[in-house]
Amino acid sequence: MALDLYIEGFASCAQEPKPEDFSPWFEARRLRRVDGLSARLLLSACRALEMAGQPVTQEKPFGLSLGIGPGSLQNTCKFMDSILQDGDELSSPTAFAGSVHNAPGLTLSLFLNLRGPCVTSGQFNTSFGAALLTARSFLHSGMAPYVLVAVGDSLNPVAQALNGQYPARVEYPLAQDIASMQTAAFLLSPQKTPASKARITNFDFSFVHPAYCPSVGEAWAPLAAAPAIQLCTLLEQPGNHFDLTASSLGVCSFLKGETFYAYQK
C-alpha cells in the first residue's frame, strides 16, 4: 500500500525521563501525576516536534495517532494489586486511569495542545502499522495538516518472567538488555516540506504461519514500539533507502522508505 507520508521529525525514548529533560517546555510540577509510559511518550513527542521546527506547547490543529500493544502492564498490575490489598472501593483510581489504553493520548493532547482528531490503536506488535494507516487517513482526507504518531508499551516484571513458558500461545525472543518501557514518536505530513527528513513510500501487512511466531531479529522485544524504534535508527542514516520487516502474532509487516537529510545529534 503506497503511503506517501513524509517524516518531519522523530525521536525515541527507552530510559526513564528526568525532570530536567522537560525543562525547555514544562515545569516539573506539571509532571507529578504522569505515569512512566506517558512521560516517555511525551518526551519523544516533544523532541520530534522540536526537530520538525514546530511549536511544542502552542495550540495546533495536529492529529494524534497512538499505537499501544497490550497497554501499560505496570499500571494494570498496580491497579489489580490495589484491589487485592484494599478492596474494590479503595482501589487506586490513578493506577486505573494509567492502565487504560488511551490514557497516554489524553496526556499528549493536553500537554501538547493538540486539537485535531485522536485515535488509539491496540493491536499488539502491529500497533505501529495500524497507527501509520490511521495517520495516513487523517492526512489524506484533510482532517489535519500534520499528525503526530506516538507508539509505546511497557512490560511488567512478572510478564517478563513468564515469557516463553507458554510457547503454544505466544513466545518472543527478549533481548537481555531491553528496557521495560520503550516509546517513539514521528511527526508526519502529506507532502514534502523544507523540514522533511524522510519519506515512507510503502507499507503492507501479510499473514504468516504458524499463527504465532516470534519477532524478527534477536534484539527485538514484545513491545509495539520495537519496530518504531528501529525505524528511528534507520532514519539517522542520511541518503538511505530502508526496508523494515517485523513478524509477530501471525502478521508480517513491511515498511519501505528513504531518507534525504544530514542527520545531526
Other residues' Cβ atoms within 10 Å of the Cβ of residue 105: 21
pLDDT value at residue 116: 93
pLDDT value at residue 48: 97
pLDDT value at residue 253: 76
pLDDT value at residue 69: 75
Domain count for the chain: 1
Q: How far apart are CA 244 and CA 182, in angstroms?
A: 18
Whether 264 maps to a domain, the answer reads: no
Whether 144 maps to a domain, the answer reads: yes
Is residue 208 within 8 A of residue 252, CB to CB? The reply is yes
pLDDT value at residue 47: 96
C-alpha cell at 226: 520495537
List the pLDDT tens digit at each of the 265 positions of the chain: 667 899 999 999 878 888 899 999 998 888 887 888 888 999 999 999 999 999 999 999 999 999 987 666 666 676 677 777 878 777 766 666 566 667 788 889 999 999 999 998 877 667 888 899 999 999 999 999 999 999 987 765 555 555 555 444 444 444 444 556 789 999 999 999 999 999 999 888 776 554 444 443 334 445 678 788 888 988 887 777 888 877 665 667 788 898 886 554 4
Domain membership of residue 201 as a residue range: 2-259
Whether 265 maps to a domain, the answer reads: no
pLDDT value at residue 122: 78
Whether 160 maps to a domain, the answer reads: yes
Tell me the C-alpha to C-alpha distance, in Å, between residue 119 and each of 68, 106, 135, 212, 248: 11, 11, 9, 27, 22
Whether 7 maps to a domain, the answer reads: yes
Find residue 153's DSSP bridge partners: 182
Whether 65 maps to a domain, the answer reads: yes
pLDDT value at residue 157: 59
Whether 42 maps to a domain, the answer reads: yes
CATH classification at residue 11:
3.40.47.10
pLDDT value at residue 72: 66
Whether 220 maps to a domain, the answer reads: yes
Phi, psi of 151 (to 5 degrees): -135, 135
